[in-house]
Amino acid sequence: MKKIVFFFTVTCSLFTLGQNLPKGFVYLSDIDKTIQKEVRYFSNNNFIGKRIDGYHKNRVIITEKTAISLKNVQQVLLKKGLSLKIFDAYRPQQAVDHFVRWAKVLKDTLMKKEYYPNVRKSELFKRGFIASKSGHSRGSTVDLTIVNSKTGIALDMGSPYDFFGEESHPSYKKSTQNQQKNRLLLRNIMMKNNFIPYSNEWWHFTLKKEPFAETYFNFPIN
């Protein structure tokens, strides 16, 4: 049977107050205020070097089912003096389109040294670092790490978030023992709470049986 993919688009004006999310979506802070966040695509600190289309506020939007599972993870970590820190969650399709446009401008390599020093920009599509669709746009995929709950200092995972290279693979052989331990801590606790890890990125997890498995949303983050 041919798989059908739906696109869900709404205008910004409907969401300017940050209240009318599509049914099944929530602001993560409404479910758990203790989870820390640093939405990288709302800032200039990302692989493009500028704020990404669709990110109008430093807020985390996610499906309600995913938010509840993240809250369960957080409750375990808090007992250890640790906390989740979110880099990205729901990602509008317009942001993905921004990535695609940027990848085609080969001379724009502002952040190459920090995010993809060993990869030619012309190879980003072929090597799967950039794609025309993202699971994030379905609302149940999250990018995150673990930090000290009091200081906010992140555990050493061996590579920065969004680093394009084999160093970001969870099973990277040249990681130190401590880095491997930290990655395993994150991976195990997420898997125990119904998340599926991604083989190329230590920070990337998707909820099992995600509620919108065939729908790619495009409402902005307000």
Roughly how many angstroms between the first and final C-alpha of the chain, as a whole number?
37
- In the sheet with 141-148, reading across from the earlier edge strand, the strands are 36-37, 82-88, 141-148, 201-207, 195-198
Known active-site residue 201: yes
Q: What is the DSSP letter of 71?
A: H
Distance CA 121, CA 180 (A): 28
| Per-residue burial over 97-124, b = 16 or more CB atoms within 10 Å of its CB, e = otherwise | bbbeebbeeeeeeebbeebbeebebeeb
Helix, strand counts (H, E) of the chain: 5, 9
Phi, psi of 117 (to 5 degrees): -65, -25
Which amino acid would we find at residue 49?
G
Rg over CA atoms, the chain: 17
Active-site residue among 38, 201, 210, 214? 201
Q: Which residues are catalytic?
A: 201
